């Protein structure tokens, strides 16, 4: 098949509702970022312009990746894993400081700042989807499970060292979902839960002691991360760290049913909500578009996640199935944690809302991941939901 025939085939097979959902969420995000940056009084707002550029280039990236057979990309899974580890190591060794000297998350490559922790998500999806299919007959071998755990734990630790708790949690969650869907025995799942739950409980009690007084948790979390979790566990609303959460809840509640309207959010326009363009953008949506607007965004995100799951079901290979499931779990986890932080149900971890929050690296990673999912869709054979797998 020639290149042009392959492109034509993929374009004809493309689910354009899927593409429309991505574009709708991204464009809406650009509009909200414009409100955050007061673009109506400053038409040359840098953040909105950069997000428009990220969306445009990301859309091109989406279509390029959707044209490349995912099975071809999967052949380089070990190289992709090595690149992932190499970039994460480079951040620790030569990365650029961000938000203070203790936080290093960026690399400058060809004059462009990128966050390898963002790209680690798609790298791990590709690697694990291929690795697990290749050795699926060993998935319940204890030694193989230990090896698999080590391969997942290494990038998680490197991301956390930056420190970036949110990105490390995304990588860990997506990896666990892929491994679970791959057919691992429930006895190992039960064993993992039996070990993890007591550890989290003990860790929670240690966190409540506060930074500087912890017994062991400071070896795994930065002081500001410990303080944020402790504040939520203790419900300490007088803590200065509760500043963002308090204004976030105020913004959400003040939007009521239909919102105050674009550019009319009091909390937003007075710049009372730090990181409103990124970590707390859902609060801006709630204030300016109300309960209806906020839920409409979540409904569109849910439809996109369901479409990813549907593509996974119809995938012609195990690798394609796991890539689509990994993408769905990434979208779900990002959205769940972001909304949980904004509503003060979860501690502030600084996680973006897919396609809507500001961030070039995040936009490119999401677009590339969705491009791979679309390629899985384009290379799948239609079958009935009632058809049994052989």
Q: What angle do CA 348, 350, 352 make, to 5 degrees?
A: 130
pLDDT at 177 over 90: yes
pTM: 0.89
pLDDT at 389 over 80: no
Please give the C-alpha separations between residue 117 and each of 20, 245, 282, in angstroms, as whole numbers.
Answer: 27, 25, 22
Sign of CA dihedral 249, 255, 257, 262: negative
| pLDDT tens digit sequence for 110-167 | 667 788 888 999 999 999 999 999 998 899 999 999 999 999 999 999 998 877 788 8
pLDDT at 245 over 50: yes
Average of per-residue pLDDT across 19-42:
86
Side by side, the strands of the sheet bearing 112-114 are 96-97, 104-109, 112-114
374 belongs to a structural domain: yes
311 belongs to a structural domain: yes
What is residue 102's three-state secondary structure?
coil
Average of per-residue pLDDT across 322-338:
96
Looking at residue 209, what is its pLDDT? 77
Looking at residue 101, what is its pLDDT? 41
Rounded distance between C-alpha atoms, residue 52 and residue 360, angstroms: 9
The answer to whether the CB of 383 falls within 8 A of the CB of 54 is no
Looking at residue 106, what is its pLDDT? 74
The neighbouring-strand residues paired with 109 are 112
pLDDT at 248 over 90: no
User: E strand or H helix at 112, and its extent?
Assistant: strand 112-114
107 belongs to a structural domain: no
52 belongs to a structural domain: yes
Rounded-to-10 torsion of CA 26, 29, 31, 36: -160
User: E strand or H helix at 109, and its extent?
Assistant: strand 104-109
330 belongs to a structural domain: yes
Which residues contact residue 145 at a Cβ distance below 8 angstroms, ignoring those fewer than 6 apart?
A: 139, 184, 188
Looking at residue 237, what is its pLDDT? 61
How many helices and strands in the chain, by DSSP H and E? 15, 3
User: E strand or H helix at 87, and its extent?
Assistant: helix 77-94
Q: Which two tokens stand for residue 309?
A: 């799951």
Pick from 272-276, 283-287, 316-320: least confident: 272-276
The answer to whether the CB of 242 falls within 8 A of the CB of 122 is no
| pLDDT tens digit sequence for 58-104 | 999 999 999 999 999 999 999 999 999 999 998 888 766 555 445 55
Which residues contact residue 191 at a Cβ distance below 8 angstroms, ignoring those fewer than 6 apart?
A: none
87 belongs to a structural domain: no
225 belongs to a structural domain: no
Q: Which domain holds residue 275?
A: 1-39+46-67+252-379
Q: Look at the chain and report how many structural domains it folds into.
A: 1
Rounded distance between C-alpha atoms, residue 168 and residue 350, angstroms: 12
Q: Which two tokens stand for residue 246?
A: 């308090």
Rounded distance between C-alpha atoms, residue 302 and residue 51, angstroms: 23
Looking at residue 144, what is its pLDDT? 92
221 belongs to a structural domain: no
The neighbouring-strand residues paired with 108 are 113
């Amino acid at each position: 098949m020639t290149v042009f025939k392959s492109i034509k085939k993929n374009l004809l097979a493309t689910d354009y509702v899927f593409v429309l959902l991505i574009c709708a969420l991204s464009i809406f995000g650009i509009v909200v970022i414009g409100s955050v940056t007061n673009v109506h009084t400053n038409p040359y707002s840098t953040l909105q312009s950069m997000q428009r550029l990220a969306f445009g280039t990301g859309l091109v990236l989406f279509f390029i990746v959707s044209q490349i057979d995912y099975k071809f990309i999967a052949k380089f899974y070990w190289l992709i894993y090595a690149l992932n580890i190499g970039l994460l190591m480079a951040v620790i060794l030569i990365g650029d400081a961000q938000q203070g000297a203790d936080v290093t998350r960026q690399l400058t490559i060809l004059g462009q700042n990128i966050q390898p922790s963002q790209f680690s998500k798609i790298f791990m999806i590709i690697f694990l989807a291929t690795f697990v299919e290749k050795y699926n007959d060993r998935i319940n071998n204890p030694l193989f499970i230990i090896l698999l755990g080590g391969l997942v734990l290494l990038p998680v630790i490197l991301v956390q060292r930056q420190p970036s708790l949110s990105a490390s949690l995304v990588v860990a969650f997506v990896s666990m979902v892929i491994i679970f869907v791959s057919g691992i025995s429930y006895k190992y799942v039960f064993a993992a839960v039996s070990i993890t739950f007591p550890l989290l409980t003990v860790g929670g009690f240690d966190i409540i002691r506060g930074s500087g007084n912890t017994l062991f948790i400071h070896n795994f979390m930065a002081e500001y991360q410990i303080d944020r979790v402790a504040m939520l566990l203790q419900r300490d609303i007088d803590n200065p760290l509760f500043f963002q959460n308090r204004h976030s809840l105020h913004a959400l509640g003040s939007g009521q049913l239909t919102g105050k309207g674009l550019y009319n959010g009091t909390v937003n326009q007075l710049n009372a909500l730090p990181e409103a363009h990124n970590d707390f953008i859902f609060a801006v949506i709630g204030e300016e578009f109300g309960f209806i607007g906020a839920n409409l965004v979540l409904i569109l995100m849910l439809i996109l996640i369901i479409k990813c799951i549907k593509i996974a079901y119809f995938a012609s290979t195990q690798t394609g199935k796991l890539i689509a499931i990994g993408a769905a779990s990434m979208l779900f986890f990002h959205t769940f944690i972001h909304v949980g932080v904004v509503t003060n149900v979860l501690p502030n971890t600084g996680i973006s809302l897919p396609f809507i929050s500001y961030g070039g690296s995040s936009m490119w990673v999401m677009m590339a991941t969705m491009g791979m999912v679309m390629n899985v869709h384009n290379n799948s054979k239609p079958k009935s939901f009632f058809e049994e797998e052989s």
